[in-house]
Amino acid sequence: MSKNLKIDPYGFREYDARWLYEKDINSAGIENLGKGLGTQIKKHTKKDHPRIIVGHDYRSYSEEIKTSLKRGLKSTGCHIEDIGLSLSPMVYFAQFNLDADAVAMVTASHNENGWTGVKMGIKKGLTHAPEEMRELKEITLSEKFSKGDGNEKEIKDFDKIYKNDLINKNKINKKIKAVVACGNGTAGVFAPDILRGIGCEVIELDCNLDWNFPKYNPNPEDLEMLHEIAKVVKENNADIGFGFDGDGDRVGVIDNEGNEIFSDKIGLLIARNLSSKHKNSKFVVDVKSTGLYSKDKILLENNCETIYWKTGHSHIKRKVNTEKALAGFEKSGHFFFNQPLGYGYDDGVNSAIHICHLLDNENKKMSEIINELPNTFQTPTMAPFCKDEEKYQVVEELVKKVEQLKNNKTKIDDQVITEVLTVNGVRFSFEDGSWGLIRASSNKPSLVIVTESPTSDNRKKKIFDFIDDLLQKTGKIGEYDQKI
């Protein structure tokens, strides 16, 4: 490595790459990342001059980073088609629309200022999975780069093509009054236009672009943002509130009474709404999501099946693709709509549109629609500390323990375990539909714990106590970030 090159290997995450700019990576490091990505794309596409869609978010330094990334890509022989200021889903859409070979989006999504990163993918509609990230890291750090003579062109006004694609096929009849909150992130120049275009009356909240994020980071899982949306929904007597993250692939939802609706419940409402038109469909949800899907009467009447899969946008996206599912829902707010509703990738604006269709179809307020779902008692996502080098081993031991308890028909709060799912840690369910989850976090030194019961708050707590007891006995667990 040349001495003025900076690239922290830890920046290569499970399915994207993120660094603090100039502290953990500098422009020479970004250029090498471009060389690594170009080399990898050539290897997978078997083309000397693959075409790559490139876009960037609205941060003060994103364009400068994009320039370095493009320099690296071009040196390997890639032909770049730059669509300018973008949302991640606009870059994914461009790969289909322009029939390109790969994508690279410069964004750190909702991370604080100072962070940068790249979301990338080769197969249409999919982003890098862990094995592709490992390969990219290996190529980049060992500097085994392919050489070539690339070029670039600018694609002007692509934002109009993206906006019109969503508007033209999604017109609604009802005048839905929607608060659209973008936290001063890039979605501000997209979401209000698109939702107005389909027929909503839009009340904008922090939709002007400001890369200092003067109020808070655009993150719909952040309570600060959700509380602000709730306030504006109530002041304006709006039908719904939407909060978009920094690069527009996630949405958070507030109902007409100002209550936050967790994304797994929104997913179930959308799945119900879709199931009557699309009978015999499959849906994919992550293991942190509510247990209501598996026993939902409307989904069962329409012969639909729900598959619980690994948490993480890249995992759910791939599972939706391989199962040819109609849609996928992740508790963090990533929703995936497959053909004929979308191209399989996560687009926060398209997710908001599907919620508008739900309101358009039903002659009810959002709060009434959500109240039709069975009530469940669910814990927040809790993360007890566990060392990175020990967490997977700890979870493996606990999987064995839970399977043993199931085989011995051991009762927890008078219930026996009826099902054990081990695609991502261990999720065990009881006769009444209650469940508990123990998994290792994919990006932090911690475990992830969630429990839910449709029966009682007390049962939810009892299952948590049971899990906590198992964890304490390992002797390898530290403090929780939050606890019930």
pLDDT at position 210, please? 93
Q: How far is CA 479 from CA 25, 446, 469, in A?
A: 31, 9, 14
On the question of pLDDT at 442 being above 90, the answer is no
SS3 call for 407: helix
Please determine, looking at this structure, whether the domain spanning 261-371 carries the CATH number 1.20.1050.10: no
The number of beta carbons lying within 10 Å of the beta carbon of residue 469 is: 9
**DSSP letter string, 22-85:** TTTB-HHHHHHHHHHHHHHHHHHHT-SS-EEEEEE-S-TTHHHHHHHHHHHHHHBTPEEEEEEE
In degrees and rounded to multiples of 5, residue 227 shows phi and psi of -65, -40
Alpha helices in 125-245 (DSSP H): 130-142, 158-168, 191-198, 223-236
Averaged over 298-326, what is the pLDDT?
A: 96
Of 70, 241, 85, nearest to 158 by C-alpha is 85
Q: For all residues of the chain together, what is the average pLDDT?
A: 95
What pLDDT score was predicted for residue 321?
Answer: 96
Exposed / middle / buried, residue 156 (Cβ in 10 Å: 0-12, 13-18, 19+): exposed
Whether domain 9-156 has CATH 3.40.120.10: yes
| pLDDT 10s digits, 113-168 | 899 999 999 999 999 999 999 999 999 999 999 999 999 999 999 999 999 999 99
Predicted confidence (pLDDT) at residue 75 exceeds the cutoff of 70: yes
- The 10s digit of each residue's pLDDT in 218-274 is 988 888 999 999 999 999 999 999 999 999 999 999 999 999 998 999 999 999 999
Q: Find the mean pLDDT for residues 61-66.
A: 96
DSSP 3-state of 339 = coil
The CATH number of the domain covering residues in 377-474: 3.30.310.50
For domain 160-258, the CATH class is alpha beta
Give the separation between CA 244 and CA 226, rounded to whole angstroms.
10
pLDDT given for residue 1 in this prediction: 52
pLDDT tens, residue by residue, 444-484: 899 999 999 999 999 999 999 999 999 999 999 999 988 88
pLDDT tens-digit map of 381-390: 899 999 999 9
Specify the pLDDT at position 16. Answer: 86
Strands (E) in 156-298, as ranges, are 177-181, 201-205, 240-244, 251-254, 260-261, 282-286
Model pLDDT, residue 22: 94
In CATH terms, are 9-156 and 261-371 the same topology?
yes
pTM: 0.91
Query: Are 105 and 58 within 8 A, CB to CB?
Result: no
Closest listed residue to residue 182, CA positions, set 197, 151, 203: 203
- Domain ranges (residues) in the chain: 9-156, 160-258, 261-371, 377-474
Per-residue pLDDT for 3 more than 80? no
The predicted structure's pLDDT at residue 240: 98
Question: Is the pLDDT at 379 greater than 60, yes or no?
Answer: yes
